[in-house]
Amino acid sequence: MEMPRRRSMPDRMIGAALLRTDVYEEVEADRDATKQAALVVGLVAFASAAITVRGGVGAAFVAVISAYIGWLLWSGITYLIGDKIFGGTATWGELLRTIGFAQSPGVLYILAAIPLIGWLFALPVMIWVLVAVIIAIRQALDFGTGRAILTAVLGFIPYLILSGIVRWLTGIG
């Protein structure tokens, strides 16, 4: 029996950013990829923190902690809605991995720090990440795009509420 090919983390990030479903299937199945997905979330958080350079190290730290809390919340809520309500077939770990890698295009948030024109990059990157997350949800939960979009939308509302509560309680953001 031939072992499936395992891409490097940079290759997985590029594949996830290019919206390649085979990459999402690979990271979904690879339990060792959870650490890589966490690293992707951290890299994107640092890229996002570059926008708020004035905040210094403290702002970068807050951005990273906030990103990890958001990732855990978003993946957990998505799991509950997609698996328990819509009958998808995934574990929380599979959603952690796929949603983590779906954030890969977010490393381009660093371009938003470019004076005068940086803001032009933020919205397209946000949309790109959103599309990648929907593909990640679809692939992890093994259902169609419509249910993936519905899961993402329904999951976003409690995510915003819980994220706001966590930020308020912890003083983050």
Q: Output the pLDDT for position 163.
A: 67
Q: 118 and 77 in contact (C-beta within 8 Å)? A: no
Which ranges constitute the DSSP H helices of 30-118? 33-49, 56-79, 92-102
CA distance 106 to 136: 15
- 26 and 98 Cβ atoms separated by less than 8 Å: no
pLDDT tens track for 103-127: 999 999 888 878 888 888 888 998 9
Please give the pLDDT value at position 5.
Answer: 66
Interval 145-170 mean pLDDT: 81
- pLDDT (tens digit per residue) in 58-69: 767 777 888 898
Q: Is the pLDDT of residue 6 over 50?
A: yes
pTM equals 0.87
User: Average pLDDT of 144-171?
Assistant: 80
